[in-house]
Amino acid sequence: MKLFSCTACGHLAYFENTRCTHCGKTLGFLPGQLRLVALEPDNNLWRISHSDDPRRWRTCQNQLQHNVCNWMLDSEENDAFCLACRLNRTIPDLSIAGNLQLWRKLETEKRRLVYSLLRLNLKIQPLGESPEGLAFDFLADQPTFNERGRVLTGHAQGVITLNISEADPVLREKMRSEMAEPYRTVLGHFRHESGHFYWDRLIRDSNALESWRSLFGDERLDYSQALNNHYTQGPPGDWPERFVSAYAASHPWEDWAETWAHFLHIVDTLETAHQFGLRTAPPNGDEENLSLDEPLNAYHEPDFNKVFDHWLALTIALNSLNRSMGHDHAYPFVLTETIKQKLAFVHAQVRYAGSE
């Protein structure tokens, strides 16, 4: 994630901020420019503070109504909702106590996903506006038993469903420990499910499918049987050699989605680190090649080896910092040569799609 500052006073500002903590100006994010800007009211609209930009901006309807979104719309656009919010097909029932807070958390993390997709120049449009588009259903389990049972997080035909209980830290931690996962976050879910979405768009009907299969396996394997086997028998003993997570070993689609999610973790976290000027010593002592004096543009670096080496160096530092604070490792994963090849495949596909 890029580092933002208030365009009025220059004070550091975060992606989620709606107000500058220093000068008090209203802040809004312009998705078309990937910029956070300070705003001045102007006849029911907003203009960018300290700028002669003639454009005027509108607040997203989800902000006006529910205070959950800091993205702005160009006043020339006819939509009431920003690009990220137009991806919502179903939002939780806000008459139920607590749902607004859970939903707000989901929206915050969803915008981080959309930021990455825009940054990678991947096609992203609402399913309501294009059959190739994406939609989100944010659903809650029924309070009383019903035939439909639990809401399962997943992707099907352009729709990503997320159980809003994932935004509840207590329930998420319970799930994480029950499923013996080292890492479970809302943003991780979004990144994983977007992997399924882009598999349909970038791989399924492309001539990359055969080389994809040679790395990830044959996706025609019975999916529900494969998941069932995973949950009853567990992953193969040698999974850490070949898969980024135990769950990735369940089916080639899950392997892809897990690898895709890691690719997004990597480029976005590297961007954040480099924006702060973090410089880490590489594990192999080859400090020259990894010097962060020359900032790496992780989202657009053509050489995946470079991204990967920077990432290994950063994760060692990140994990050590976390341990110093008494926390578990921030990135509890081991990336083998096989996993690196899969990540490089994601990188190549993303670059190809982003250049179209």
Give the interface with Zn ion as residue ranges (CB under 5 A). Answer: 6, 8-9, 11, 20, 22-23, 60, 62, 69, 71, 82, 85, 254, 257
What minimum distance in Å lies between the beta carbon of 83 and Zn ion?
Answer: 8
Nearer to Zn ion, 69 or 102 (CB): 69
Q: How far is the CB of 10 from Zn ion (least distance, A)?
A: 7
Rank residues 82 and 203 by Cβ distance to Zn ion and give the closer one: 82
Distance of closest approach, residue 257 Cβ to Zn ion, in angstroms? 4
Q: Which is nearer to Zn ion, 248 or 292 (CB)?
A: 248
Q: Quote the tokens at residue 232.
A: 């009853």
To Zn ion, the closest distance from the beta carbon of 353 in angstroms equals: 20
Q: Of the two residues 24 and 283, which places its CB atom closer to Zn ion in the complex?
A: 24
Toward Zn ion, which CB reaches closer, 82 or 270? 82
Per-residue tokens: 245: 């997570």
Residue 317: alpha-carbon gap to chain centroid: 22
Q: How far is the CB of 196 from Zn ion (least distance, A)?
A: 6
Q: How far is the CB of 173 from Zn ion (least distance, A)?
A: 20
> Closest distance between Zn ion and the C-beta of residue 172, in Å?
16
> With contact defined as beta carbons under 8 Å apart, do 22 and 38 qualify?
no
What are the distances in angstroms from CA 179 to CA 46, 174, 234, 237, 335? 47, 9, 11, 17, 21
Cβ closest to Zn ion, residue 193 vs residue 309: 193
CB of 110 to Zn ion, least distance (A): 10
Question: Of 257 and 296, which has the nearer Cβ to Zn ion?
Answer: 257
Report CA torsion sign: 150, 155, 160, 166: positive
Could you tell me the maximum CA-CA distance found in the chain, to the nearest angstrom?
65
For residues 25 and 48, give the distance between their C-alpha atoms in angstroms, rounded to a whole number: 11
Closest CB to Zn ion among residues 71, 345: 71
Shortest reach from residue 174's CB to Zn ion, in Å: 20
| Contact between 108 and 69 (Cβ < 8 Å) | no
- For Zn ion, the closer CB: 85 or 344: 85
